[in-house]
Structure 1
């Protein structure tokens, strides 16, 4: 068992210059999460523990991000296939620098509003797309038999970064958190620019002497053709169609919970930055083990589908315990199920990757990420007002977490689709093998 684990770790050596800056990026983002709740409520709620404005501004942000991500995510996946992974990764990881730098300068109401505007733009470009492009990069470098372990390590390192970010948030003075985060984000972009190796040969430019109008028309036409090709890839594969539904309903429930959870805990139990960090650190440590050790060892025996179903079942229990929490210790018990539900992402990536040809990895991952963005657009439309209503004195009955209980139904639907899933042993579409191929991996 130890030999197999060490072997899967060694297979990640070609990905060092990808994973190191991504870990730094995730640490820098995570260390701000628990502080942002206090900063937002402090600036917008006039001394109250929470208020509708703080909940709604997060819901509005998620809605706007969902609207634009429906288009942006698939397009970024296509551009990564056509023009290379490195420039798209550099674009996505660098967008977070300015929003956090603003809060490092000042945390007043005006700066908080400016942060939300710029962070919304950053989320549109980076949220979800970093994982999609990183997964496509991994598929370029590693063959199919090694990808599942690599995907589990990527998501495991994501959890490890969350732990380190929460530890920093727990012990750093609040006044220095955004300064340190901004510095780490700058380092991440600089390291990637210097050391990351491209894996895709960019599409040659053939219209250097065309007019601006013709160039714009050609860009739109190419994006339309590429989008139509991505839709064809997904529709032609039963596995990709099914995993799209699984991803949609899972994201519909989980993104809704994530959007309101910290505000719910602050209002219901008086949690602050320290409790948030403790919960997230506890979950992160368990998630590292489940993703980096358990998943690579269990996958050869049970397969991605079984792991996906178990993870979705864990997400349902996670949501129900949060929604029905009757004492301050219950959220800690609920959070422990995060150790299980974090396996949804790597198993989903593996199923998508196996059902896609080598030249369509970015398109398939990007399209399904776009489906998830539709869910993240819809979830705050119901979750934000429902949460605000049941946290207020006008609630029809005493159940502050009722909106989270409703979200668990979405995960239950996702589990039903996952149970009926029939993963393909290999890609069954040949779109990547015809004359329309526009790129080929440089590394193998």
Structure 2
């Protein structure tokens, strides 16, 4: 049964807020922690930039494979059941950093880094145990970093009436941005050790809250499947029906992903736009933070203030502007406006970077 009011999705909104708060309270501290672990007593660290870039590439490729898989399984087992996976996965890297440590076994690592990485880095050498954290975060990030947003949007789109769909998606994205804003603000005033504790608690509360209050209303085994999916598959090669057991055994192989892309021009173009936009943003963001640390000696607090500016604009646009403009201008106009704004932002950044 479709929901008629955005207020009917209030429990989803709370879940999205808590999950995104947990994810975004950590980034302001990561640059200091990474440099402190890999290049002690230095402001410049080329290895940190290379590893961060490699991690972004792996996360992008992993998400490209994992997100269609999660979406496919959510069509079978329900949005709520699969939304549990990325939210719970985000607890793991944060949860390993919750316990205070008074003394490090490796003299090279500073007290702030020792407290924040806690058990992992306290066991042995800082570099080796940083790589353990790095590997765990890379693995879980393939599911959690984009999975929470995608499945939340899928839940809202599947369970709200068509005329309210764009507004609901805008609210989901806006609440995620608001959570990022408040998470970054919290990081500005919390110590590094407290940041990881708060992130773990927020992720756990989000998981428990979602399991208790968010209702599975469509797309699960125990309920009726989606009667009007967002994307209708018209491709002959992709139209073979499969039972639930067959779908579980043949979980959306790579050829089916490409088949799905070929079956819809709209989906193919949207995928290209998302890829190019992500490539531009990802290639600029990480080196930018390490540049500020090396050149201007930025720390956690400075990064938090800088991120607050961007998150404030995103929250205002997605919470207040998009839900009102979408019914008037349509999705295509909003997407075009967003791409133009992104291009202008990149152009200004490139000029400032050259100077």
Taking structure 1 as the reference length, what is the TM-score of the superposition? Answer: 0.64
1:59-113 alpha-carbon deviations (Å, 9 max, x no partner): 2222222333332211111000011111211111011212112233443424422
Q: Is the 8 A contact 1:83 1:200 kept in 2?
A: no
1:321-348 alpha-carbon deviations (Å, 9 max, x no partner): 223326xxxxxxxxxxxxxxxxxxxxxx
Q: Which one of 154, 164, 170 corresponds to residue 172 of structure 2? A: 154
Alignment correspondent of 1:318: 345
- State how far apart, in whole Å, the 1-side matches of 2:59 and 2:181 are: 26
Alignment correspondent of 2:22: 28
Q: How far has the Cα of 1:132 moved from its partner?
A: 1.8
- State how far apart, in whole Å, the 2-side matches of 1:157 and 1:63 are: 27
Secondary structure (helix, strand or coil) at the match of 1:128 reads helix
Please, which runs of 5 or more residues in structure 2 have no aligned partner?
100-113, 223-243
**Pair 1:71–1:80, CA change in 2 (3 A):** same
CA RMSD, 1 decimal:
2.4
Taking structure 2 as the reference length, what is the TM-score of the superposition? Answer: 0.79
Q: Is the 8 A contact 1:14 1:141 kept in 2?
A: no
Matches within 5 A, 1:115-130: 115-130=133-148
- State how far apart, in whole Å, the 2-side matches of 1:127 and 1:168 are: 19
Q: Is the 8 A contact 1:103 1:115 kept in 2?
A: no
Alignment correspondent of 2:82: 88
Alignment correspondent of 2:250: 221
Matches within 5 A, 1:234-249: 234-249=261-276
Matches within 5 A, 1:254-333: 254-325=281-352
- State how far apart, in whole Å, the 2-side matches of 1:47 and 1:304 are: 49
- State how far apart, in whole Å, the 2-side matches of 1:242 and 1:233 are: 12
Q: Is the 8 A contact 1:102 1:111 kept in 2?
A: no
- State how far apart, in whole Å, the 2-side matches of 1:146 and 1:158 are: 18
Q: Aligned residues, how many?
A: 307
Greater Cα shift, 140-149 or 270-279: 270-279
Q: Does 1:194 align with 2:212?
A: yes
Alignment correspondent of 1:99: 93
Q: Which one of 203, 227, 240 corresponds to residue 185 of structure 1? A: 203
Q: How far has the Cα of 1:159 moved from its partner?
A: 1.1
Secondary structure (helix, strand or coil) at the match of 2:23 reads helix
